[in-house]
């Protein structure tokens, strides 16, 4: 396994403070519950549609 800086693989954003509706296949929402011994565990990660990402980007500008 290759170790990389978190800034190389993710973008930390403040959310919209509402609960998005998750979908079966989509973009992963990694939270602290998905971090296990310094590794991102994707087994039980929630996923959401691209429109949520677009909304987060607009909110952060």
> What's the pLDDT tens digit per position in 18-60?
777 888 888 888 888 898 888 889 888 989 888 877 777 666 5
Distance CA 19, CA 46 (A): 12
- What is the pLDDT at residue 60? 58
CA distance 38 to 44: 16
In this model, does residue 15 exceed pLDDT 70?
A: no
pTM of the predicted model, to two decimals?
0.55
Residue 39 pairs with which residues in a beta bridge? 36
Q: Which pLDDT does position 4 carry in this prediction?
A: 84
């Amino acid at each position: 396994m290759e170790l990389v800086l978190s800034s190389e693989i993710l973008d930390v954003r403040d959310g919209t403070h509402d609960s998005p509706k998750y979908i079966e296949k989509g973009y992963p929402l990694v939270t602290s519950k998905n971090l296990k011994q310094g590794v991102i565990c994707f087994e039980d990660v929630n996923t959401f549609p691209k429109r949520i990402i677009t909304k987060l980007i607009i909110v952060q500008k």
